[in-house]
Structure 1
Amino acid sequence: MDSSVLITFIVLAVILVGLVGFFLVRGRPLSPAETKKRYPETRDEHDLPPGAAEDSAGEASGATATGTLVEPEAPEETAAEPAVETPEPVAGRLARLRARLIKSNNIFGKSLLALLSQDSIDDDVWDEIEETLLMADLGTDPALELVDALKQRVKVEGTTDPQRVRAMLHEELTKLVDPTLDRSLNLQAEGRPAVVMVVGVNGVGKTTTVGKLARVLVAEDKDVVLGAADTFRAAAAEQLTTWGARVGVPTVSSPIEGADPASVAFEAVEKAIEVEADVVMVDTAGRLQNKANLMDELGKVKRVIEKKSEVDEVLLVLDATTGQNGLNQAKVFSEVVNVTGIVLTKLDGTARGGIVVAIQRQLGVPVKLIGLGEGADDLAPFEAEAFVDALLEEN
């Protein structure tokens, strides 16, 4: 073999062996000692704070973008039972919330008294008084009755003394609110739980009202079961369950969204009978009064419940800010499920306290509870005298 060819072959062989060795060494994982020697800024697991580990980028997985180490989460422990709240006593709630009512309804305390206390009250003033009452959602017939009664008394007594005028207005308005109506909840069922259905359109605070009413009943030492029969609104059952859990009240619900609400209501009544509860309250889906099929379904819920037990109360939840539209809702619901009482919510956000009179007059059904705020215990039994006092109180 030619010597030049041999030398060339040897050189190529040396180069090939060198390349193979280079790649073999490069692909071998470095030992900790070699790593520290080659990359002195790199730390291994033993150099990191306890609980931290190296990720694929060579950074501590517990570190933030700024390099601050976030403390690792403690090992998950068995969740403790949530503390059960003690609701505020029911007695005196309306008095406690009176300041809110006074603040929001001074249309009576200021506007009417100012008009009635003028030296001369002519027809124009009486028209203005009537308009003020209509703006307060008193309703046409009640407003005319109140104006006529006040006209007669002011004419006979011939007084414009503010205190006397206020007394006359208080007396006539109290008559319209009607303190003789029975506003107690019918919860005295014999040998079985009392059954309460709660109905109303979406957005009036119906599920929240059921939760708050559960607190009212717990404060009165009653054993309560809740039924989440609003199976169409997302998270309605979860919301009601949370309200119940806060005061130690169980909730019957379906894990299937869109389940038959009548079935859930029936199971809730069964459960209440089984545990010998005092009251079972069934929350129903919000029904639009112009959706006949949905209203029919609400009637079905009531009929199915009645296969197991009589329905003792049907409470219609209305938003006080809806005015005359609330009256239309009340009429339709009453035709479908025979409403026995009204719960008026959001009364603290409106000057339209006259809606109480208008609703009672149209339905012949009393307002039994009013909501005056967002707090868990801001639901109070309606008291006619205290309500009128607050309406006519000046700030």
Structure 2
Amino acid sequence: MPSRRRFLHTCTAATLPVFGSHAAAPSKPFSFILLGDLHYDSLAHHDMKWLAAHHAGDLSQIQNYSRLTAEVMPGMFAAIKQRIASLQNSAAPPAFVLQVGDLVEGLCGTAELSARQNREALAFVTQADLGIPFVFTKGNHDVTGDGAKEAFDEVLLPFMTKAARTLDSTATHTQANHTMTYGDSQFAFFDAYDKTSLEWLEAVAAKRTAEHLFVIIHPPVVPYGARATWHLYAGEKLKAQRAKLLDILGQQQAMVLGGHLHKFSALTRLAGGKRFSQLAVSSVVSSLNQKPKDILHGLDTYTGDQVNLEPKHAPDTATQRREIYTTERKEVTAFEYADTAGFAVITVSGSQVTASIHSGSQSEAFQTLKISV
């Protein structure tokens, strides 16, 4: 693991870590704010008897998310609003906020409580008055618990549809799988919890005309960190689906945006004869002035030793998780990681796409990466 001095030197160097190589002149620049998991929550959203009977082990997590929602999230959104305002007169003004799923904690126990949680989460976002549309994809917690799927369709999906239409008048959808075009970029919101999503993405890719393709998927496609088995299509029986997804992303030279693991990571991977990038962020912020820790920088750190980052996580699967990296690292060509939460600013300028990663509510980025490939 590199020293903090070496890491900071790398992040402030004039030459950014390169995650792509297009060279066309910039055209119609814009930016957007990228948010990771939020887990909006309140103890009042949960049927405690149901929780004790079905998910007793999640109570401490729910208590913590409820506290962070009340104590930290307002300050975080205030900082994001300020960041949006500071970018309005820049060369790439912000067009929207994009959140990668797990907007809410879920696990409410009834459809009524789930709908209440969803409505209050959207009210919080609306009252934050960010000044630009708020779009998001589906996360596992958004549809977890009795009645959660119905509440998603009733409350979150209509909001999702309306927000997309404010940015792209041609956007029409009634499912979580949908596309939105802004400038010369297409955004494919991939429902990781729908069995038809892979075929849907294949069809989207076949019709693509935009210069950039962003694919927003809540769980990672390429494993990183200690929880190497938590990526999409990770099971032995899903190898064919995973191979197909990788080929699509590689052939399209896509930029995958996601979360799920509550960590920052950026990487590129070979697939389909080309390569794609993956950027993951977390917005479960425990402290507004937090600093990154467990920093991994460079391809030499993409090894099975990542399992040591969370030594208490499923120790009985440590060998399996190490083996995943033995195979996967043959295809990974760039890698960054840190245990931190905050937000990112993605800037699209012609063929170049960069991501500035912010820890907590800090206005100064702790790392900037080129993610276009």
Q: Normalized against structure 2, the TM-score is what?
A: 0.33
Which structure features the higher share of helix residues?
Answer: 1
Q: Normalized against structure 1, the TM-score is what?
A: 0.31
Which structure features the higher share of strand residues?
Answer: 2
When Rg is computed on C-alpha atoms for both structures, the one with the higher figure is: 1
